[in-house]
Amino acid sequence: MGDAADGRLPVIYVRGFAGGPSGISSAVDDPFYGFNEGSVQVRVDDTDRPTFHQFESPLLRLMIDHGYQLLVQGNQRGYLDQRDDGTIDPATIWVHRFYDEFAPTLTKDPNPFSIERAAQSLFDLVRLVCRKTGAPRVFLVAHSMGGLVVRAMIQKTIPDATGAGPAAATDFVDRVFTYATPHGGIEFSMGFGAIEKLRDLTGVAGADMFGPERMYRYLTPEASMQAEVPADWDATRMPDDGFPPDRIFCLVGTNSSDYSVALGLSSRAVGARSDGLVQLENAYVQDAPRALVHRSHSGRFGIVNSEEGYQNLQRFLFGDVEVRAQLTDVHLPGTEQDDTVWQLEAALSIRGLPVVLHEQSTAHLCPIQIERPRTADAAATPVPLVRTFLSTRATRPTVQGGEREVTTMRHVLRLRLLSLRKQGGLLSFLDHLEQTADWSDVLVVDIEFPQDGTPPRSWAVWSSALGTAIRDWVPDAATDEQLEDVDTATGSWLARIRLPVAARELLGRDAAITVAVSGRTPA
């Protein structure tokens, strides 16, 4: 039986928008509100034949990988009510079936859907699960609008109910993971705002909940509610003294082409820089960790039923180490007047996984923009590349038929630097070679966490310097130089890795990748 001490807190799933009465009725017919759906991907083997990779679903994988139980037995709420306090295993999964009371097929007099009511019933479920399992807090995992239900509970419902201030939700919720949530609302790239105004005015199927006025109402406690939405209010920013953003992970989808219908409109109405429904800049909370994956909002290539989503999920929920990588000390060639646009592509892979955990590329319309300092003597602003989480308790793989145990965790960061010219404020392709990088390389970083509790050890190498397959490189503690920890603080570790010579010619002689590793408070 699990307990809170091993990091396995109860998981509560919160689904997304179902639309009007018919959509709600369809949603409630699924006992797990869609979180039980998996997917199948095709890869090509050495004979050019398709081979299949099956993702079982986030629910099933939590059960397989982490020993969670799914306790329904006919009625999940009834099961909870009939058990004594503290007798249910904390390592359990629950589904917030908030749509049940709004379904015309189930309820005699259904009320119009209310996100405030869904947030209140979520708080009721959170308290019930904590009481019955004895767990101090829960993990919340939400898709799309479900993330707004969670935020409404965190930012308004709990502070209003407890009177304990904006951060009161930290007593009930440990971590929040959102898939494709419109944290900044839903906007459209066509119509010059007319579509949003019509949606917010009519509130068709409750879709006005994605507009700023309704969002302000259900995300703001009564104590600070104003008659009008403040001009500087931003839905993507959490209150400064509220639930900490670093306890919220936002998974952002970048595939707009595989999501065809949203709110009765084609994904073309939202624009290409989206998952087909939520634009990239609206899909995360400011200052929260996030990852971008090439998945659509839902459907066959949806973000929830993806291996990429699950791998980010389990690392955020159970990881006890945080890793951040940044590009630092950049000094671009030329001047502001040469109108050159510099963009960086970055992709993170971890040894043993069949998917990329984070990817920003020009092909997916989300490269990292490298900005010049405002003045010649200004210090270069670090460019964030990736933020991920690891578990030092995770089982390490073996290689060569089990002859050698792998003691390090290997990250591979693929980087590509591209440039474009501008003339008269417009991109010019006269001297351009599409998808051709000015520089590209792969940084291989191995991190080892000794079992005796001593500080981590790490090694790094650029693929261009290897001369062999990356999988064949094994750092030798006796001969390979370890990365030097340049952070004097305890509980954290920081290394600086210089870029290859070819990259320094473009990005500056002092340009480097900094890798920061820090401990993370267990759940």
At 263, is the pLDDT very low, low, confident or very high (cuts 50, 70, 90)?
very low
**Residue type present at position 107:** T
| Signed CA dihedral, 161, 164, 167, 172: sign only | negative
Q: Say which DSSP state 149 is in.
A: H
At 34, is the pLDDT very low, low, confident or very high (cuts 50, 70, 90)?
very high
| Signed CA dihedral, 259, 313, 124, 115: sign only | negative
Residues 147 and 236 in one domain: yes
The predicted pLDDT at position 339 comes to: 83
Q: Tokens 């479900």 appear where?
A: 146
Helix (H, G, I), strand (E, B) or coil at 18: coil
Q: Which of 318, 345, 377 is the last residue of a domain?
A: 318
Q: Which of 14-23, 122-131, 454-463, 475-484 shows the lowest per-residue confidence on average (mean pLDDT)?
A: 475-484
The predicted pLDDT at position 417 comes to: 97
Q: Say which DSSP state 212 is in.
A: H
Residues 185 and 48 in one domain: yes
Q: pLDDT tens, 80-134? A: 999 999 999 999 999 999 999 888 888 776 678 899 999 999 999 999 999 999 9
The predicted pLDDT at position 67 comes to: 96
What is the pLDDT of the chain when averaged over all its residues?
Answer: 89
For 99-164, where are the alpha helices, taking DSSP H only?
Answer: 115-133, 145-152, 158-162
Q: Which of 293, 318, 343 is the last residue of a domain?
A: 318
**What is the H or E stretch that residue 76 is in?**
helix 76-81
Average pLDDT for 397-426: 80
Residues 314 and 332 in one domain: no
Determine the Cα–Cα distance for residues 24 and 471; give it in Å rounded to an integer. 49
The predicted pLDDT at position 190 comes to: 63
Residues 331 and 306 in one domain: no
Residues 314 and 376 in one domain: no
The predicted pLDDT at position 179 comes to: 98
Helix (H, G, I), strand (E, B) or coil at 433: coil
Residues 375 and 307 in one domain: no
Higher pLDDT, 315 or 394: 315
At 492, is the pLDDT very low, low, confident or very high (cuts 50, 70, 90)?
confident
Exposed/middle/buried for residue 425 (C-beta within 10 Å: 0-12, 13-18, 19+): exposed
CATH of the domain at 124: 3.40.50.1820
Average pLDDT for 25-47: 91
Q: Say which DSSP state 277 is in.
A: S
Tell me the residue range of the domain where 284 lies: 4-318
Percent of the chain with pLDDT over 90: 63
Residues 292 and 360 in one domain: no
Give backbone dihedrals phi and psi of 343, rounded to 5 degrees, phi first.
-130, 145
Q: Tokens 């509100």 appear where?
A: 33
At 262, is the pLDDT very low, low, confident or very high (cuts 50, 70, 90)?
very low
The predicted pLDDT at position 311 comes to: 96
Determine the Cα–Cα distance for residues 144 and 423; give it in Å rounded to an integer. 40
Number of domains in the chain: 2
The predicted pLDDT at position 335 comes to: 66
Higher pLDDT, 199 or 343: 343
- Quick one: tokens of 254? 């970048």
Residues 86 and 174 in one domain: yes
**Lateral strand order in the sheet of 92-95:** 69-70, 92-95, 11-14, 138-143, 173-179, 248-253, 290-293
Taking the C-alpha atoms of 263, 32, 281 and 288 in order, what is their torsion angle to the nearest 10 degrees?
160
At 150, is the pLDDT very low, low, confident or very high (cuts 50, 70, 90)?
very high
Q: CA 271 → CA 193, 266, 327, 513, distances in Å?
A: 13, 9, 29, 33
Q: pLDDT tens, 348-390? A: 999 989 999 999 999 999 999 998 876 666 677 899 999 999 9
For residues 356 and 348, the answer to whether their CB atoms sit within 8 Å is: yes
Residues 120 and 192 in one domain: yes
Q: Which of 302, 318, 334 is the last residue of a domain?
A: 318
Determine the Cα–Cα distance for residues 462 and 295; give it in Å rounded to an integer. 29
Q: Say which DSSP state 339 is in.
A: -
The predicted pLDDT at position 141 comes to: 98
Residues 42 and 27 in one domain: yes
Residues 218 and 128 in one domain: yes
The predicted pLDDT at position 271 comes to: 85
Residues 166 and 289 in one domain: yes
Helix (H, G, I), strand (E, B) or coil at 286: coil
Higher pLDDT, 43 or 329: 329
For residues 270 and 277, the answer to whether their CB atoms sit within 8 Å is: yes
Helix (H, G, I), strand (E, B) or coil at 77: helix
**What is the H or E stretch that residue 313 is in?**
helix 307-318
Q: Tokens 């259900």 appear where?
A: 218
Is residue 337's pLDDT more than 70? no
Classify residue 453 as left (phi > 0), alpha (psi -120 to 50) or beta: left
Helix (H, G, I), strand (E, B) or coil at 341: strand
Determine the Cα–Cα distance for residues 255 and 308; give it in Å rounded to an integer. 13
The predicted pLDDT at position 5 comes to: 56
Q: Are strands 383-390 and 265-266 parallel, antiparallel or unpaired?
A: unpaired
